[in-house]
Amino acid sequence: MRGKVNHVAAETAEEAPDVVLGTFLVNSEPASVLFDSRASHSFITEQFAAKHNLPMSPMKQILIVSSPGKELEASHLCPRVSMNIMGVEFLANLIVLKTNGIDVILGMDWLSGCDGVIQCRKRSVLLTSPQGDKIEYVASVSPSRVGTVNHIKGMPLEDIRVVSEYPDVFPEDLPGMPPVRDIEFSIDLLPGTAPISKRPYRMDVKDLREHKKQIEEMLAKGFIRPSSSPWGAPVIFVDKKDGSRRMCVDYRSLNDVTIKNKYPLPRIEDLFDQMRGAKVFSKIDLRSGYHQLRIRPEDIPKTAFTTRYGLYEFTVMSFGLTNTPAYIMYLMNKVSMEYIDKFVVVFIDDILVYSQNEEEHEEHLRIVLQKLRENQLYAKLSKCDFWLREVSFLGHVITDGGIAVDPSKVQDVLNWNPPKTAPEIRSFLGLVGYYRIFIEGFSKIVKPMTSLLEKGKEFKWDAACQKCFEDLKTRLTTAPMLIMPDIHKGFDVYCDASRMGLGCVLMQEGKVVAYASRQLRKHEQNYHTHDLELAAVVHALKIWRHYMIGNKRQIFMDHKSLKYIFTQQDLNLRQRRWLELIKDYDLDIQYHPGKANVVADALSRKGQANMMIARLMPQELCWEMARLKLGIVTQAEAMIMEIEPTLEQEIRKGQLTDAKIKEIKTQIGLGKTKDFTEDEQGTVWFRKRICVPEIDHLRELILKEAHDSAYSIHPGRTKMYQDLKERYWWYGLKRDVATHVALCDVCQRVKAEHQRPAGLLQPLKVPEWKWEEIGMDFIVGLPRTRDGYDSIWVIVDRLTKVAHFIPVKTTYTGAKLAELYIHELCVSTVFQRR
């Protein structure tokens, strides 16, 4: 009898387009399982069967199996092996094969019995359960990469490479009180808070027995002690994943009066960005991590809890206290700080070690375990995973190929019943929204459900809501793998807008990095089309600023209306505000025709992007847009127009005669300065900022363009200085910016909401003597006389209205003007302005 198997190694199976690889429970143990319609029979490796004590029985005939590279003989069978696939129990007769690699291969004999269909394009398998239900498994990531897990999981500590050198880091239980650290958990209360005490909750006999047992254990370790505190909180029990019960204290009343610690937890997306290129992972979970940090002695009485067996208080951190995540995060950051973003990721009490190869990983893992040993921090071996090619971390599956949704978490979504109340909708959207970066157009999809959350709206679950509910489940089970971006390479952003919401896709080298979307706010629903399109661009720039800032990036739009934003003469305040934000980026905005799917066909459509025709733009607008660094492609019918940076040329020319810059060049030549450099054209730069010579009209031109131009919208001195210092430098730049903004007449008149109210107008007191009080003003802009006067200074006596006229020049300083009227002695002066 002969048989055939096409793949016995995970490395070859994951490249094949017609098989599906997954990880499931076989005889209650995790195993790599291959669905292969071209395999004649179903097989199990002898190593897996022997390790997990599966019963074997001899076959009547020896089976000659053709496998890649050689033929194998199979003589034994494991009958009726139980397999859990997507929560459904299946049985299979598996032939024992002497191979190393994939644990279980389900061939044509088993697939035909389950009406199995392999969908190559989706990398999924559709099965019919013994009860007649249809189930589908989608291989969102290549589970062969967890092959190492199947061999490491459950191995004794002494058999795990590197880990075996640190048995003291993985004790069976915490050895006792944690050491005295320079970090202690504190509970700071709101001023005027009085102690709060509540009676214990009633428990059944089973919980009471467990409660007494855990109290005795914690007393023995020193984690709790008898108390006489005026505080007291009741105890509750929660189930753990392994079936045991965890004692928690209901500290809600204490938490309400506790000042919250603002120590930040890291953003999940930022953690993943650091792991690009990593191929080997190890995950370490602390054993009862909260119990490894002492409480500040004066705060211990506040943790008191009431029980049937007396009043006790914690000496170590307890579950349920509001600031515990922040403190454990602070502790772990301090321990691992020098390795974070190099090869370590820390999230509360979870540590992930990542490396590019096994040699690196051996070194990295040894460093981390040594750090835990030095700081007397202990991990739980059964919750740790080592030497992984694929790791499940914070609800995501991470491989060297990218990030995908954790299938075990998706199962919770698939089992969710349709919501019947608004709070249930919020709970469902909260769970699904955690994976919104995997779902294109998430906000548009959930619109029917979120509309039910509007205040005062009747809850009515209709067909549109049900379709939205089912669509979200389908999209999560078929969610694509997202790549981990390389910040040194370019990014493309595809934006779209509609009356339903804004949608954006961040891509790199034709692969999706993340999806983003949001619904329109009420006032945005009145926007014109081109405003909505620009809003989508602004939305993308805000959420992906850390990717977009710095280097030149491309943005593709699928609506032509956006180009009218840049061709119209008059911009409204909203558009000007958005253009001010865009100025911070170096963007190449291209216009993509039609409503084609730019995500699916991104690379082929980049060459079809339309360009703006230069003749449609007024010349002055071309100059303004050039200063914004938008990188818009402008093209005439027969030639490409280039806008020359004449300002930079003037600066280069001015440097040739500036004495200070000549001195700087001398210092550069002698090697006495590192901050200043000289390029091949002889231009002096200060830390990549061009040095502006001491030429008044040139500096004034730069200040006016940054503050007074049509697209500058009069920024404040801080914003203006931050913009200018990126490109220009001269001595006293910050002072000149502050002076320019302070003397801006428009800012003084218009920006009244940021100034102290002027109060009611009051009439001036009538002076008692002539020339006691005067009013003055200047008449400027007059033709210049032969003596050089171009203005008239008008001084009027407020009592007699007698006027005195003095010819002056606009170049006169305050001291010069004082000389002209020093003979006019007055008590006070009123300055009039037009």
- Residue 525: inside a domain: yes
Q: Are residues 190 and 335 in the same domain?
A: yes
Task: Give the tens place of pLDDT for each residue, 28-40.
Answer: 787 888 888 878 8
Q: pLDDT digit string (tens) for 125-171?
A: 888 888 888 888 877 544 334 344 444 555 677 778 888 899 999 99
In Å, how far from its chain's centre is CA 298?
Answer: 38
Residues 459 and 495 in one domain: no
In a domain, 242, yes or no: yes
- Tokens 């999809």 correspond to what residue? 445
CA distance 555 to 18: 36
Confidence of residue 613 (pLDDT cuts 50, 70, 90): very low
Specify whether 324 is located in the same domain as 437.
no
Establish if 197 belongs to a structural domain: yes
CATH of the domain at 132: 2.40.70.10
Instruction: For residue 335, give every residue at least 6 positions away whose Cβ sits within 8 Å of its Cβ, in sequence order, or none.
Output: 371, 372, 375, 377
For helices 733-742 and 717-724, give the axis angle rounded to 10 degrees: 140
pLDDT tens column, 700-752: 889 988 888 766 678 888 888 988 888 899 989 999 999 998 888 878 776 65
DSSP codes, 288-314: TGGGGSBBPGGGGGGG-EEETTEEEEE
Tokens representing 269? 């997306």
Does a structural domain hold residue 367? yes
In this structure, is residue 638 part of a structural domain?
no
Among 96, 102, 126, which residue's Cα sits nearest to residue 114? 126
Position 591 confidence tier, pLDDT thresholds 50, 70, 90 = low
What is the spatial order of strands in the sheet that 134-138 belongs to?
117-119, 124-128, 134-138
Q: What is the CATH number of the domain that holds 789?
A: 3.30.420.10
- Which of 23-37, 224-238, 377-391, 747-761 tops mean pLDDT? 224-238
| 459 and 523 fall within a common domain | no
Looking at the structure, do residues 676 and 787 belong to the same domain, yes or no? no
Do 650 and 597 share a structural domain? no
Q: What is the average pLDDT value for the chain, to the nearest integer?
A: 78
With a cut of 90, say whether residue 590 has pLDDT above it.
no
CB 684 within 8 Å of CB 661: yes
**Crossing angle, helix 696-707 and helix 646-655, to 10 degrees?**
150
205 lies in the same domain as 267 = yes
Same domain, 514 and 593: yes
Which of 749, 765, 789 corresponds to the end of one domain? 749
> What does the chain come to in residues?
834
- Residue 532 tokens read as 């909505």
| 32: Cβ contacts below 8 Å, ≥ 6 apart | 10, 21, 22, 23, 102, 103, 104, 143, 144, 146, 147, 150
Question: What integer is the mean pLDDT of 455-474?
Answer: 82
Domain that holds residue 428: 404-478
Q: How confident is the model at residue 101 (pLDDT cuts 50, 70, 90)?
A: confident
Residues 161 and 29 in one domain: no
Q: What is the pLDDT of residue 150?
A: 41
Q: What is the pLDDT of residues 176-213, one digit of tens each?
A: 899 999 899 999 999 999 999 999 888 888 888 888 99
Supply the pLDDT for residue 264.
84
Better-predicted residue by pLDDT, 176 or 10 = 176
- For residues 810 and 528, which has the higher predicted lDDT (pLDDT)? 810
In this structure, are 699 and 577 located in the same domain? no
- C-alpha 182/C-alpha 327 separation (Å) is 12
> Is residue 205 domain-shared with residue 179, that is, in the same domain?
yes
Q: Is residue 325 part of a domain?
A: yes
Q: Which of 586, 605, 624 is the last residue of a domain?
A: 605
Name the more confident of 390 and 185.
185
User: Which of 1-5, 282-286, 383-387 reaches the highest mean pLDDT?
Assistant: 282-286
Of 578, 605, 632, the position where a domain reaches its end is 605
Decide if 767 is inside a domain.
no
Q: Is residue 149 part of a domain?
A: no
CATH number assigned to the domain comprising residue 276: 3.10.10.10
Question: In the predicted model, is pLDDT for residue 667 greater than 50?
Answer: yes
Residue 12 — pLDDT band, cuts 50, 70, 90?
low
Total domains in the chain come to 6
pLDDT digits (tens, 9 = 90+) for 293-350: 999 999 999 999 999 899 999 999 988 888 888 898 899 999 988 988 889 999 888 8
Distance, in Å, from the CA atom of 723 to the CA atom of 720, rounded to the nearest integer, reads 5
Q: Are residues 261 and 384 in the same domain?
A: yes
Count CA atoms within 13 Å of residue 332 on its CB side: 30
Question: What letter does residue 583 receive in the DSSP assignment?
Answer: T
Please report the sign of the dihedral spanned by the C-alpha atoms of residue 724, residue 728, residue 729, residue 732: negative
